[in-house]
Chain A
Amino acid sequence: MLSIKNLQVKLEDEDKQILKGVDLEIEAGKVHAIMGPNGSGKSTLSYVLSGKDGYEVTGGTASLGDQDLLDLEPEERAAAGLFLAFQYPVEIPGVGNMTFLRTAVNAQRKARGQDEMSAAEFLKVVRARAKDLKIDAEMLKRPVNVGFSGGEKKRNEILQMAMLEPKMCILDETDSGLDVDAMKLVAEGVNALRSEGRGFLVITHYQRLLDHIKPDVVHIMADGRIIKSGGPELALEVENNGYADILAEVA
């Protein structure tokens, strides 16, 4: 489903290569995790896939289904079914969370040639999904992420994911800033969305998130490349021994 081949990326403003040839295939229905030390390029990968400014692709390809992602605007990537749960969700004062959700849902439907969701239908769906994530009416009314706690922001990301029903979900350090209970709630939200037609890429520093969102494949990223891939046991190995052994083994 998500196919990344020899992806090479540098910063636009400085001569600094971040990704040095990333290869990754994520099949529908599978959960892949990427772990790696700070500065290995994990977040850059998520930003480049979703189309953020400031990066220059110097080689390789990335496609979702039969669409070349790198050719598309961020909104077109979203409409194609890509979703990035942000490590630091952005606060947008003055835009109500509900307005934001509805605008996003209908923009994607419109882009796919579907009818817009009626206000009543939207309200029904959003209330049900919000309830699962313990998001109350007050949070839906407030401006997007403004005054939300770390946990509320991450739950709000998952609510957006649930509403937009993407094909491919990228979670960028969704566990950062979460206590154990909040992490469980977020993981439950993600697990509820696991399905045969949907792929996940979970970027994390820690094994503990993977206790709750069980990956099919674990990749280790270092210095802009995926240096090792394996089953869930690879994450445990990192948890117990750190990255040093793996880095040494590959070097």
Chain B
Amino acid sequence: MTQPAVSVNATEERLAGLDMPAGGWSKPARHDALARVRAMGLPQRRDEYWKYTRPDTLVAATAPKAAVFDPRETPVFDGIDRLKIVFQDGVFDAAASDDLRESGVTIERLSEAQADIHWAADLYGRLETRGQTPVARPLAALNTAFASDGVLIRVSGACARPINLQYHHGAEHSDAMLHHVIKLEQGAALTLLENGPAAARFNKVMEVDVADGASFHHVRAQGRDHERRAVTHIFARLGAQSVFKSFTLTANGVLTRNECVIELTGDDAVAHVAGACVGDGDFHHDDTVFVTHDAVGCESRQVFKKVLRNGATGVFQGKILVKKDAQKTDGYQISQSLLLDGDSQFLAKPELEIYADDVACSHGSTSGAIDEDALFYLRSRGVPHGDATNLLTLAFLAEAVDEIENQALRDEILGRLSGWLERHSG
């Protein structure tokens, strides 16, 4: 594939500003990834896959400035008993982190693990590479090549408490790149929490290998810094009868692109990916999801809800690909936006591509305003306009939030959403 000169220039300009970590065992994977980046070229505005989201600031040689925001409230998940691992502008903060030794799980850091870690070497960059077909994701390959740190988590049993990756943002020009590798062995279980704005610009990749019968629950809150930018990728492979459930809350952030690439490779696996985002003003949020069914009897759900006001933009690109032998597939996809005023917009591209003949797949996408009849009904019972609007907005988001199975985590996320709505109502 020949790239236009402009793309080559932009790619080389970006690469010139980056130093590849020594890497040890990850070195071959990093060099392969760099070759992929050069072959693909970094995304540019003309790319079909970036039609609704401008990649310029994610690709630029330096990160645009992002003011550090003090939310003046207890960080999300603080009330949950969990093992905390903290990164400050992408740099591991040992003092703020818990002891990484935990039963049922081994946790190592990408930057520390110099000795050969076979399991991680077998995965690092591998799921990302698989996820490059049929659609190129160059920023993920860039991450594999240059990520400065990350965690390598291997779960052999049931991890007693959630692991919480916290990303603090303290410098206005910080440019962070983290790469996590998570392996759940047969029958293992892990809840992973992520929160925080991370940096002025954050590029994160998470590769998750879920073996047969294992289950992975993921809840993330992306941090309220208004000017932060992020591009994140999750690459997951699911074995037979495994479960993968991921939910993301995004409040604020000038630009967020969350890609999730899931491959169901074992029979009867379940993959749910959901997101709720709330944006007011200078806010652009893109959920790009690609679910491939390559086994019999699997279920996948994509549930994305966006609340947009004052010129905020929401994007959804979601695809379900059902391969020829993936019979009895149950695929569901819904993306909806609630536009609280006439200035906001929602751009959606739902896709189904089905080669098996015995499947049930449905998808839907809607954009709408607050239901005036419901609003009047609530007001006629004495609920003030702002409160009634917020109640209906939370109701709109409920289908996505309900994807969080754990009630304490769900309540935590609901609390954050209510708080945001109260601050932004009127």
Chain A positions near chain B (C-beta within 8 angstroms): 50-53, 73-75, 77-79, 83-84, 86, 89-95, 99-100, 103-104, 107-108, 111, 143, 160, 164
Interface size class of B (residues with CB under 8 A): 20 to 34
Question: How many A-B pairs with Cβ below 8 Å?
Answer: 80
Q: Is B73 an interface residue (CB 8 A)?
A: no
Question: Interface of B with A (CB < 8 Å)?
Answer: 371-374, 376-385, 387-388, 391-392, 394-396, 398-399
Residues of B with C-beta under 8 A to A104: 378, 381-383
B380 touches A78 (CB 8 A): yes
Q: Contact: A92 with B382, CB < 8 Å?
A: no
Please indicate the chain A residues that have their CB under 8 angstroms from the CB of B399 in the complex: 94
A93 touches B379 (CB 8 A): no
Give every chain B residue within 8 A of A100 (Cβ-Cβ).
378, 381, 391
Could you say which residues of chain B place their CB within 8 Å of the CB of A51? 376, 379-380
A111 to B385, CA, bound (A): 13
Specify the chain A residue showing the minimal Cβ separation from B381.
A104
Is the CB–CB distance between B381 and A78 below 8 Å?
yes
Question: Are A90 and B377 touching (Cβ within 8 A)?
Answer: yes
CB-nearest residue of chain A to B383:
A107
Q: Which residues of A contact B391 (CB under 8 A)?
A: 95, 99-100, 103
Residue with the highest number of chain A CB atoms closer than 10 Å, among B377, B381, B383, B385:
B381
Beyond A86-B380, A104-B378, A107-B383: 5 further Cβ-contacts under 8 Å? Answer: A74-B376, A78-B381, A92-B374, A94-B395, A95-B394
Indicate the member of B371, B377, B396, B398 with the most A CB atoms within 10 Å: B377
Specify the chain B residue showing the minimal Cβ separation from A109. B382
Contact among A73, A90, A103 for B373, CB-based, below 8 A: A90
In the complex formed, the residue of B with least CB distance to A82 is B380
Give A103 Cβ to nearest chain B Cβ, in Å: 6
| Complex contact B395–A75 (CB within 8 A) | no
Contact (Cβ within 8 A) A75 B392: no
| 14 A-B interface contacts by CB (under 8 A) | A50-B380, A73-B379, A75-B379, A75-B382, A75-B383, A75-B385, A90-B371, A90-B373, A91-B374, A92-B371, A92-B378, A100-B381, A100-B391, A108-B382
B381 touches A164 (CB 8 A): yes
Query: Which residue of chain A lies nearest to B391 when distances are taken between CB atoms in the complex?
Result: A95
Question: Which B residue's beta carbon lies closest to that of A160?
Answer: B381
Complex Cα spacing A52 to B388, Å: 15
Question: What A residues does B373 contact at CB under 8 A?
Answer: 90
Complex Cα distance, B381 from A73, in Å, reads 11
* A89 cross-chain contacts in B, Cβ below 8 A: 377
**Is A107 touching B384 in the complex (CB atoms < 8 A)?**
yes
Task: Tell me whether B382 and A73 are in contact (CB under 8 A).
Answer: no
Among the listed B379, B384, B392, which residue makes an inter-chain contact with A95, where contact means beta carbons less than 8 Å apart? Answer: B392
Q: Which residue of chain A has the shortest Cβ distance to B388 in the bound complex? A: A75
In Å, the complex CA distance between A164 and B382 comes to: 9
With contact pairs A93-B395, A94-B394 given, residues A79 and B376 touching in the complex (Cβ less than 8 Å)? no
Alpha-carbon separation in the docked complex, A89 to B381 (Å): 12
Please state if B395 and A92 are interface contacts (CB–CB under 8 Å).
yes
